[in-house]
Amino acid sequence: MTKTQRLLELVQLLRCHRYPVTAQQLADQLGISVRTVYRDIICLQQQGVEIEGSAGLGYLLKSDGHLPPLMFSRHEIDALALGLDWVSRHTDAELKSAAQHALAKIQAVLPEHLTHTLEHQSLLVASRGEALFETHLPEIRQAIHTRNKITLRYTDLKEMTSTRTLWPVVLGYFDRVRLLCGWCELRQDFRNFRVDRIQEIVVSNELYPGTRYQLLKRWKDYQQARYPDYR
């Protein structure tokens, strides 16, 4: 591995960590000495890469926007193509279009030999999902991003219909079900709703309190308390 390759790998490892990572951890993953990690971090900092931290405390990448994008490996291309193919086959028209545009952007920056890999994939996704999965999904995703409350008219598995006001936080894509998770004002607790059983949805102009990230953390803590093995 050349020094340039090693520096790019180091930046990529730092990108993968949201919290400070020690030089020893970085050295173990790169197969180099801790001393070399220290030298490489200083080198990157001198080139303008914003890496915060120090020996013993760990390092955190704050910004690398001035660097050229890292090239994808064959395995990364396989993962991206497989994921985007799944999105284009098993979600609604809005996300399908987004997946196709993303794939085109990726293809535009790849060298010819990797473009060939992307165009001739051997990893395939099952056929198109059922149309019932497309209903209401764009409105739900928009409400999640903008923190708008939503009101549902919902029919449960016992065929009982109710109206709920929800703070939407997560949209789960399962094989046979799309699941909306959020804070239910009626129950004063987190609840799950199958999207195909939503009869009507109205996105309110009213925002729920706090930030989306705070609500997401509350939901994750709730999941962790109920299901200790949840990640």
Domain interval for residue 213: 132-226
**Which pLDDT value is given to residue 48?**
81
pLDDT at 32 over 80: yes
pLDDT number for residue 148: 97
Per-residue pLDDT tens digits for 147-156: 999 999 999 9
CATH number at residue 138: 2.30.30
**In a shared domain, residues 140 and 221:** yes
CB atoms within 10 A of CB 64: 19
Tens digits of residue pLDDT in 104-115: 888 877 777 777
Say which residue, 133 or 134, is predicted with more confidence.
134
| pLDDT above 70 for 131 | no
Tell whether 162 is covered by a domain: yes
User: In the predicted model, what is the mean pLDDT of residues 136-141?
Assistant: 92
Q: What is the pLDDT of residue 25?
A: 92
Within a domain: 125: no
DSSP readout, 146-201?
HTEEEEEEEE-TT--EEEEEEEEEEEEE-SS-EEEEEEETTTTEEEEEEGGGEEEE
Give pLDDT, residue 133.
Answer: 60
Would you say residue 197 lies in a domain? yes
**Which tens digits make up the pLDDT trace of 73-99?**
778 888 888 899 888 888 888 888 898
The pLDDT confidence band at residue 128, using thresholds 50, 70 and 90, is low
Higher pLDDT, 12 or 231: 12
- Long-range pairs for 157-162: beta carbons < 8 A, 24 or more residues apart: 157/197, 161/199, 162/186
138 and 218 together in one domain: yes
- Domain identity same for 51 and 86: no
Which residues, in sequence order, are bridge partners of residue 165? Answer: 151
Q: Are residues 176 and 196 in the same domain?
A: yes
152 domain residue, yes or no: yes
pLDDT, tens digit (0-9, with 9 covering 90-100), for 160-188? 999 999 999 999 988 788 899 999 999 99
Rounded CA separation 204/147 (Å): 10
d(CA 33, CA 23): 9
| Tally of domains in the chain | 3
Residues 193/179, Cβ–Cβ less than 8 Å: yes
Which residues, at least 6 apart from 101, have a Cβ–Cβ distance to it below 8 Å?
none
Residues 17 and 93 in one domain: no
Q: Is 11 a domain residue?
A: yes
Instruction: Return the pLDDT at 170.
Output: 93
- Whether residues 210 and 150 share a domain: the answer is yes
Separation of alpha carbons 53 and 57, rounded Å = 6
What mean pLDDT value characterizes the chain?
Answer: 86
> Where on the phi/psi map is residue 108: left (φ > 0), alpha (ψ -120 to 50), or beta?
alpha
pLDDT of residue 231: 59
